[in-house]
Amino acid sequence: MIIKTLSANLTIQLITFATSVLSARILGPVGRGELALVLLYPQLVAGIGLLGVDRAIAVLGGSGELSRPATFIGKLVLLLSFPALAIGYAIVSWRITDAYLASLSTLYLVYVPAMFFFLLVVSLLNGLGDFTRFNLTRLWFYIMNFILVFAIWIIRPPLLKLLDWVVLANLASVYGVLALAVWMLSNVPTSDKNLGKASAKGDVITILGLAVVFAVPMALGHLCTIAYQIILEHQMGIRALGFFVVFFSYSRLLSPLGSAIGFHVFHLGITGEQHNIARIFRQSLVVYLFCGMALGLVAGSLIPIIFGREFFVETGTVVALLISSLFALLADSMAEYLNGRRKGAADAIGRITYLISLALLGGSLVPGLGLLGMAAAVAISDMVRCLYLVSRVKSETQQANGEFWLLTRMDLSALSHAGKGALHGLFAWR
């Protein structure tokens, strides 16, 4: 099953990367930085505003403790959307001083309810182990977004600025996938034995009770994903942010593999499986390292070709971000396992450690080193978080430290076999 999820994630990453390329070519470095700023705070409140409810639904759905999913998801979306919209408006008004960008960001806040519904549905499908519909629902969001941005690139529509059209394309994609999520949810049977017999009201209370466990780590997680943008925009401005977002996007090309592993490691945590977690970590480390080196070797020529000549490469910055990506993906899989075991406090501490490290290092390195300083701060912060989470998983599973870091012949044999299988599948497909 992990292969299907990996295939979906690879497709999503390819489409996301292609969409990012089109956005960069349409808008240029300054416009790409403006787009990042417009989306920044609405996406932040959308992530934090869920308060860990998405993870709670996945855990309770997977353990068979929920009933009437359409009813309780609808209630939760209404309950969570209004405070998120109000807080988002306040943050946008406070943080974005440019009137034009502030108005666009305020408009983009209307995506929050649709995104809540979408995320809650895919979380329920993940918890139920329905990875076919889970992957299909996620995939269509990125397909729709790509099609709309591609149309903007080809047509160059009049009347509005290109930045306006790209923002509207993002909004239309979210509401398009909302319709698909409604249809997917309608096909989850209310009487299935895995959903229990509790009332919808009781489900909402149960979900909110468990969500407390995940609320802080999930909020911190979303803050971690955008913290570098806040620091960089504040210290270096929109143009620098536009460059860094492109470099960061390139360095995260491995994220579909990490996400696929994370989804299934989370499920292992739910079921209580602990014997394979160290092996998964070791083998992931080798794959990330090998792929990261390959991306680093071609970055200098590939990034300007793909994103446009305006995006000249700072090699040290890209290499540091690739190192960051390796440790971030490893840390994320360990956090997913602990969250599946309902050990959200460990993830929260790891996130807080990351944010403190990033704030201190970013504040001291960016003024002197610019983008390289920001990349180094991100990389070191990801290393610190990864080491902490490995220590917690090691304690949770009662395994030695060497089990996570020392490769075995069986690891290399398994990776070699998997690589040969992937190549065989590729040639057979061709």
Asked if the model's pLDDT at residue 87 lies above 90, the reply is: yes
**Residue range 67-92: average pLDDT?**
87
CA-CA distance, 351 to 345, in Å (whole number)? 10
For residue 39, what pLDDT is reported? 94
* 331: Cβ contacts below 8 Å, ≥ 6 apart: 350, 382, 385, 386, 389
CA-CA distance, 308 to 26, in Å (whole number)? 10
* Least confident stretch, 32-41, 148-157, 220-229, 408-417: 408-417
What's the CA dihedral at 21, 25, 27, 30 to 10 degrees?
A: 90
* Confidence label for 196 from pLDDT (cuts 50, 70 and 90): very low
For residue 142, what pLDDT is reported? 92
* Confidence label for 194 from pLDDT (cuts 50, 70 and 90): very low
Name the residue with higher pLDDT: 419 or 289. 289
Asked if the model's pLDDT at residue 112 lies above 90, the reply is: yes
* Confidence label for 3 from pLDDT (cuts 50, 70 and 90): low
CA-CA distance, 141 to 138, in Å (whole number)? 6
Residue 98: strand, helix, or coil: coil
Asked if the model's pLDDT at residue 31 lies above 80, the reply is: yes
* Confidence label for 135 from pLDDT (cuts 50, 70 and 90): confident
Q: Is the dihedral of CA 304, 309, 315, 319 positive or negative?
A: negative
Q: Return mean pLDDT, the chain.
A: 84
Task: Supply the DSSP symbol for 368.
Answer: H
